[in-house]
Homo-oligomer: A and B are copies of this chain.
Amino acid sequence: MAEKTRSKIVSIKGARQPVTSYDVARHAGVSQSAVSRCFKPGASVSKKMRDRVMKAAEELGYEPNAIARSLISGRSNLVAIMISNLTNLYYPEVLAELTQRFSEHGVRVLLFALRSEADANETLQQIWPYRVDGVIAAAELSPEQVGEFEKRDVPLVFYNRHLTGSPVSSVCCDQEDGARQLVDGLFKAGHRRFAIIAGPPESVVGVERKTAAIERIEELGADDPPILEGDYSYESGFALAEELMKHKKKRPDAVICANDVMAIGALDAFRVNHGLNAPEDISVVGFDGVGPSHWKSYNLTTIRQPVRRMTEAAVTMLMAMIEEPGLPNEKRVFSGIFQAGGSAQFETGN
């Protein structure tokens, strides 16, 4: 038996050498290829062989080396998730869902938390060497950056972003529709003096929410709303609500915020600093449906994103693209779910 000679140097420091498939093969008295086959689902192995190998593997504590497997097979079973703003209350749930779902597909998650959307380039440089099978991007990417994916044939699915005019796969929540629902309900309840606390200009989602709201307000014939730009934080919601109160003559009676956290900040500002309570004195609505939107002190009227369905879609899409390389891109848009709260005078229905 011409067994390959292996110069296993017994470590001086007592670091145990991990058991390899060769060790298992020798122990079981079979070939190394046989061992490999036993760990490959759907390979052709006799029951006898499998039992023997598994027993040997068990005894030696063999654990297949995913790195070596990746190298030869060309599949790392790794996906990267890029998230630009992890501390945004909305993302932890998304991230947890995504990792758990990928896990069910035998795929592990490399996490990249960008400090800012500007980190994307550096992050991509960190991603490429690992030869990930695909990427979920909950971060803004430029057309050039998207081009880098195509160049490398790395499947990409945007989460709640998209490149308008570019055929990239994405899973989104219909921001325009949500914004219209909010404006309509507020209008129907009698509101005419709207104000908008928008997201940062670089947030596509925020811009969509803002723009759609403005358009709808205009369509309905209400006055042009003042528009203030925040950064999605509680503090900015609070500060901008203050700002709105400065112009005593035309204070708004309905404030549309680009996310729940700013809406919460606004509610606090109105109540604490001005004694204005929602929904009696002023109406405030948000977007997302994050956990705290349900807290009794706020009880937000908002548009909830169907996170479970969206993450499921994202994972399914990416896995399909990985398994079937030629697949055409696809955009999936989910409607937001109106979440009736008590922070606004609001009328639904026709």
- Chain A residues in contact with chain B, CB under 8 A? 13, 15-16, 18, 61, 63-71, 76, 78, 81, 86-87, 89, 91-93, 95-96, 99-100, 103, 108-113, 115, 126, 128-131, 151-153, 234, 238, 264-265, 267-269, 271-272, 291-292, 294-298, 325-326
Contacts and interface: CB of A to CB of B under 8 A. Distances in A.
Given A71-B68, A95-B86, A109 B111 contact: yes
Nearest to A107: B126
A92 B91 CA distance: 9
A111 B291 CA distance: 22
Contacts of A292: 234, 292
Contacts of A272: 296-297
A265 to B, nearest CB: 8
A95 B93 CA distance: 13
Given A234-B292, A268-B296, A272-B297, 17 more contacts: A13-B326, A16-B151, A16-B152, A18-B152, A63-B128, A67-B71, A68-B71, A86-B95, A87-B96, A100-B115, A103-B112, A108-B126, A234-B291, A238-B296, A268-B297, A269-B296, A297-B298
Contact of A130 (B67, B91, B126): B67
Nearest to A234: B295
Contact of A113 (B96, B113, B295): B96
22 contacts: A15-B153, A16-B151, A18-B131, A63-B128, A64-B129, A65-B131, A66-B129, A66-B130, A67-B70, A71-B71, A87-B96, A87-B291, A92-B92, A96-B113, A99-B113, A103-B126, A108-B112, A109-B110, A110-B111, A269-B296, A271-B297, A272-B297
Nearest to A265: B295
A99 B71 contact: no
Contact of A264 (B61, B131, B295): B295
A86 B92 contact: yes
Contacts of A269: 296
Contact of A129 (B65, B81, B130): B65
A22 to B, nearest CB: 15
A325 B100 CA distance: 32
Nearest to A235: B294
Contact of A297 (B76, B95, B96, B297): B297
B66 A131 contact: yes
Query: Lowest 10 CB-CB distances: which A-B pairs, in order?
Result: A66-B129, A268-B296, A86-B96, A111-B111, A297-B297, A92-B92, A96-B113, A99-B113, A272-B296, A63-B128
A298 B272 CA distance: 11
Nearest to A81: B111
